[in-house]
Amino acid sequence: MSTARTAASTLITVAPTGAETAKVDVPALPTTPEELVETAVACERAGAALIHIHVRGRDHQPTLDPVLLKEAVDGVREATDLVVQLSTGGAITDPLEQRLTVLDADPDSCSLTCGTTNFGDGVFLNPWGFMVDLYRLAQEREVVPEFELFELGHVHALRRLIDECGLPHGGKVHVDFVTGVPGSMPGTAQALLAGVAMLPPEVTSWSATGIGRAHLPIAAASLAAGGHLRVGMEDNLMFAKGQPVGHNSELVARAAQLATLLQRPPMSTAEARAALAIKDRRTR
C-alpha cells in the first residue's frame, strides 16, 4: 500500500442527498434549494471541503433539469467555498445522454463511475463508451472528475481509462471507493484494502464511503490506510443504532472528530482545491 499518498490532513466529502431516499420517508433529507444551501454551509462549518450533489425537483424527486442543476451549483458556490461536485450518476433510471449534460452546469468536479454495477435490485449502467465520452467532456470543460469505484473491476477500468484518455484537467487523480452497495463490493476493510492495493500509480488521492452499517467501519479503515472520507445521507441514514441522522452536519462533525483523533484533521477548502487541482470558478 502506498504511504506516499497519505496526506497530513483529511478531505471530508459530504454527499447530503443522493437519488434513492424519498423525502416522505426521511424529512431531514435536504431536497429543496434552500435546504441544500443550508446543508452546505453547516457541513463546511463542520469540516467538509467537498460536496457531492444530486439535485431534486420541486416534487422532491431526483432530476437532471439543467436549470435546477445550475441553480444548485451557483447557490452552493455563492454561500460556501466548498468544492462543488455534481453527480453524473443521477438515478439508475436516468438516460446516459442526459447524464452527460450535467457538465453544462459548470461544476468544479463531477463523479465518473468506472463501470456498470449491481445496485440493489437494479443496475447502475456505466458502459465503456459512456465513461470515455464523459471523461473527454470533463477534460474539455476543465472539470475535475472523481472516479467512483464500486467494484474491484472498476479499479482495472480506471487503468484502461487513463491509458486511453490521459490524465484529468490539472493532472490529479482522485478516486472514491463506494462500498457496501447491495450486490457490489462489500463494505469491509478487506475489500477496501484490496482495492487500494490495485490503484494505478497515477492516483494521487483516494477516499471511501460505506453504505448503511458499513459507514463507520469504512471511515475508520480508510483513515487508518491513509485515505480520505466521504459521509452523508446519500450513503447512510442512521447515526447510530436507533438514532436516525438529524442533519448531514452530524455525520461530517463525527468524521472530523475521528480524523482529528487519528492526527489527520479536516482539510481546508483551499487545501482541497490544491490537492484536487480544481480550476477556480468563484466570482467572489
Residue of closest CB approach to ligand KMH? 89
CB of 6 to ligand KMH, least distance (A): 25
The correct pick among 10, 13, 39, 87 for binding ligand KMH (CB under 6 A) is 87
The correct pick among 44, 108, 148, 176 for binding ligand KMH (CB under 6 A) is 148
92 binds, options ligand KMH, Zn ion, none, Cβ within 5 to 8 A by partner type: ligand KMH
- Residue 135 lies near ligand KMH (rule: CB under 6 A): no
Plot region of 105 (φ>0 → left; ψ -120 to 50 → alpha; else → beta): alpha
Residue 259 phi, psi dihedral angles, 5° rounding: -65, -40
| DSSP structure class, residue 119 | E
Which string of b and e fits 234-261 if b means at least 16 CB within 10 Å? Answer: bbbbebeeeeebebbbbbbbbbbebbee
Binding residues for ligand KMH, rule CB under 6 A, total 12
How is 214-267 classified by DSSP, letter by letter? GHHHHHHHHHHTT-EEEESTTT--EEETTEE-S-HHHHHHHHHHHHHHTT-PBP
- Residue 124 lies near ligand KMH (rule: CB under 6 A): yes
- Residue 88 lies near ligand KMH (rule: CB under 6 A): yes
Grid cell, residue 153, equals 473491476
CB of 163 to ligand KMH, least distance (A): 22
Q: State in Å, rounded, how far the first CA of the chain is from the last one.
A: 40
| DSSP structure class, residue 279 | -
- Residue 109 lies near ligand KMH (rule: CB under 6 A): no
| DSSP structure class, residue 115 | S
Dihedral over Cα of 214, 217, 222, 225: its sign = negative
CB of 82 to Zn ion, least distance (A): 15
CB of 262 to ligand KMH, least distance (A): 27
Residue closer to Zn ion (CB basis): 21 or 188: 21
Residue closer to ligand KMH (CB basis): 201 or 212: 212
- Residue 92 lies near ligand KMH (rule: CB under 6 A): yes
CB of 103 to ligand KMH, least distance (A): 13
Pick the piece of the chain touching ligand KMH (CB under 6 A) from 23-31, 83-91, 195-203, 251-259.
83-91
Residues 10 and 108: their CA atoms lie apart, in Å, by 19
Q: Which of residues 82-111 bind Zn ion (CB under 5 A)?
A: 87
DSSP count for the chain of H helices, then E strands: 9, 12
Using only C-alpha atoms, what is the Rg of the chain? 17
Pick the piece of the chain touching ligand KMH (CB under 6 A) from 86-94, 100-108, 191-199, 212-220.
86-94
Pick the piece of the chain touching Zn ion (CB under 5 A) from 26-34, 68-76, 81-89, 204-212.
81-89
Site string for Zn ion, 29-68 (x = CB under 5 A): ----------------------------------------
Binding site for Zn ion (CB under 5 A): 87
